[in-house]
Amino acid sequence: MADIELTILMPCLNEAETLAACIGKARAFLDRSGIAGEILVADNGSTDGSREIAERLGARVVPVPERGYGAALGGGIEAARGRFIIMGDADDSYDFSRLDAFVAELRAGADLVMGNRFKGGIAPGAMPWLHRYIGNPVLSAIGRRFFGASIGDFHCGLRGFSRAAIVSLNLRTSGMEFASEMVVKATLAHLDIREVPTTLVKDGRSRPPHLRSIRDGWRHLRFLLLFSPRWLFLYPGIALLAVGLVVGAILLPGPAYIGDISFDIHTFLVAALCIIVGLQSISFAIIGRRFASRYGFIPRSGNYDRLLEALTLERILLAALSLMLVGIIALIWGVSVWAARDFGPLNPSRTMRPVILAMTALVSGFQMMMSGFMSSMINIPIYERRIADDPTPRQNAP
């Protein structure tokens, strides 16, 4: 059998109305271009005869029992025989007879070639207005901001890629968010990603699409957030911590005034809460990034690894105990203020300042201590597994 250069992959779940047209267009492209290729249908449990249609038309069918768009594509990618794969929905919304631009970019060295429907053209009725003007632009903008991707259409279903490059990304999601995961991981892995204009027409199905706007939109957004601890935890935490420290430093000596507006103990309390929440959010960012990188969800970063090596449990505990010591000193300060008034009635504006400072330092120190232990616990199984999996014999081994 001659080497297969291209696999045209179609995930399929009850697409009997349109599958024949998609296979016919894909076959016409292979015949016209002279490319050694195959048409692969990843069947996700169709009950309408889609599988029989594909086999009758000469496509290779691979059954994927796990339900989900990502699961079907993952099973198809694993079964594909081609060096390159072009994937597209089997609803006849993409033209499989016009894949020349994808093949040209792949042959030129691209690892991932994304279609861009906003540049190629979207026919009337092909995309709901909610997706066209809100969902896709917003999620694509978030993806570009969070991960530095240069992709204009994160969720185009027609895309080509090097099979070896995408397999190396270890894609894990099983639902619609698979589309975002591929782009995000390819960007983080510094793969060569390019875009080509792609047209989108109204699909040929009489039934509603599998896509659910709110559910699947949230799954994409959730994935983008969980894959970026910086934007989910670190940057908000730094912002809250900075606001809390600045406002707290201004109000610690006493009330502050802007015109006729006074800021006193209540604002000081809000600043303390910002400090506590900000420190906790930063801790979550460190723990989340450590967990995600060590378990292969996010590519490891040399700079981040060096930071984690510097943040040893002992250093974190030292910082936590120092904060708690500040809290104890602040409590003593508060008691001394009370004692100066012979333990009589107190001015809340004066008395509450050291108490709030004490509680903020004690709570922050305790949270930091617990976060340090949690971060170290995450490392324990990784360290033991690395020793167990290390084939290099130790010097003292018998």
Both 180 and 289 in a single domain? no
Neighbouring CB atoms inside 10 A of 42's CB total 27
Q: Is 85 exposed, middle or buried (0-12, 13-18, 19+ CB in 10 A)?
A: buried
| DSSP per residue, 11-49 | EESS-TTTHHHHHHHHHHHHHHHT--EEEEEEESS--SS
What is the C-alpha to C-alpha distance for residues 99 and 82, in angstroms, rounded to an integer? 15
Domain boundary among 177, 203, 226: 226
Residue 1: inside a domain, yes or no? no
Both 63 and 155 in a single domain? yes
Residue 397: inside a domain, yes or no? no
Neighbouring CB atoms inside 10 A of 162's CB total 20
Residue 396: inside a domain, yes or no? no
What is the C-alpha to C-alpha distance for residues 155 and 141, in angstroms, rounded to an integer? 12
- Residue 259 near residue 178 (C-beta atoms within 8 A): no
pLDDT confidence of residue 384: 46
Both 184 and 307 in a single domain? no
The per-residue pLDDT string of the chain (398 residues; one tens digit each, 9 = 90 and over) reads 458 999 999 999 999 999 999 999 999 999 999 999 999 999 999 999 999 999 999 999 999 999 999 999 999 999 999 999 999 999 999 999 999 999 999 999 999 999 999 999 999 988 888 888 888 889 889 988 888 888 889 889 999 999 999 999 989 888 888 888 899 999 988 999 999 999 999 987 777 666 666 777 888 888 888 888 888 899 999 999 999 999 999 998 888 999 888 899 899 999 999 999 999 999 888 888 777 666 556 666 666 667 766 777 888 899 899 989 988 988 888 788 777 777 777 677 777 888 888 899 999 999 989 888 887 776 655 444 444 445 555 454 44
Residue 398: inside a domain, yes or no? no
Both 59 and 167 in a single domain? yes
Report the predicted TM-score, pTM, of the whole model to 2 decimal places. 0.75
Give the torsion through C-alpha atoms of 209, 214, 218, 219, to 10 deg. -20
Both 267 and 190 in a single domain? no
Range of the domain at 359: 229-389
Both 265 and 203 in a single domain? no
What is the C-alpha to C-alpha distance for residues 377 and 379, in angstroms, rounded to an integer? 5
Both 151 and 247 in a single domain? no
Domain boundary among 226, 255, 276: 226
pLDDT confidence of residue 394: 47
What is the C-alpha to C-alpha distance for residues 160 and 183, in angstroms, rounded to an integer? 12
Both 311 and 385 in a single domain? yes
Size of the chain in residues:
398
Residue 301: inside a domain, yes or no? yes
- Residue 262 near residue 253 (C-beta atoms within 8 A): no
Neighbouring CB atoms inside 10 A of 222's CB total 12
Domain of 107: which CATH number? 3.90.550.10
DSSP element (H, E) containing 144: helix 136-147
Both 36 and 97 in a single domain? yes
Residue 137: inside a domain, yes or no? yes
| DSSP per residue, 356-388 | HHHHHHHHHHHHHHHHHHHHHHHHHHHHHHHHH
Both 128 and 55 in a single domain? yes
Residue 335: inside a domain, yes or no? yes
What is the C-alpha to C-alpha distance for residues 21 and 205, in angstroms, rounded to an integer? 12
- Residue 60 near residue 38 (C-beta atoms within 8 A): yes
Domain boundary among 160, 191, 226: 226
| DSSP per residue, 191-255 | --EEEEE--B-----SSPPS--HHHHHHHHHHHHHHT-HIIIIIHHHHHHHHHHHHHHHHHSSS-
Could you tell me the two tokens for 313?
Answer: 């449990």
Both 144 and 23 in a single domain? yes
Amino acid making up residue 191 = L
Both 308 and 178 in a single domain? no
pLDDT confidence of residue 159: 96
Residue 395: inside a domain, yes or no? no
Q: Is 206 exposed, middle or buried (0-12, 13-18, 19+ CB in 10 A)?
A: exposed
Residue 118, CA distances (Å) to 15, 21, 196 in order: 25, 24, 10
pLDDT confidence of residue 386: 45
Number of structural domains found in the chain: 2
- Residue 275 near residue 364 (C-beta atoms within 8 A): yes
Among 170, 188, 264, 272, which Cα is nearest to 224's?
Answer: 188
